[in-house]
């Protein structure tokens, strides 16, 4: 059963709810990704966090997973 994808999203000064990372269908994986970003960030994570704040995980419904379009 497809429950959608877990994502990391954040906000900028101009925009809210920006997609940062697609973490797949595993909530624990998304939580681990967010934990890494906040506690032991990679260089890419640091780059993202220069412009994004309020990082969080979110479950996106399958029909709203636009990044999947054209993969079938």
Instruction: Report the predicted TM-score, pTM, of the whole model to 2 decimal places.
Output: 0.89
Distance CA 27, CA 32 (A): 9
Q: What is the pLDDT along the chain (72 residues), one digit of tens a residue?
A: 689 999 999 999 999 999 999 999 999 999 999 999 999 999 999 999 999 999 999 999 999 999 998 766
Residues linked to residue 59 through DSSP beta bridges, in sequence order = 6
> Beta-carbon neighbour count of residue 28 at 10 Å?
9
- Our count of domains for the chain comes to 1
| Residues 27, 48 contacting (CB under 8 angstroms) | no
Q: How far apart are CA 43 and CA 63, in angstroms?
A: 32
Domain membership of residue 48 as a residue range: 5-68
């Amino acid at each position: 059963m497809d429950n959608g994808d877990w994502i990391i999203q954040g906000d900028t000064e101009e925009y809210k709810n920006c997609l940062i990372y697609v973490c797949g269908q595993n909530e624990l994986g998304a939580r681990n990704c967010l934990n890494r970003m906040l506690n032991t960030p990679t260089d890419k994570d640091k780059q993202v966090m220069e412009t994004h704040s309020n990082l969080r995980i979110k479950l996106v419904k399958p029909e709203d997973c636009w990044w999947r379009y054209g993969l079938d």
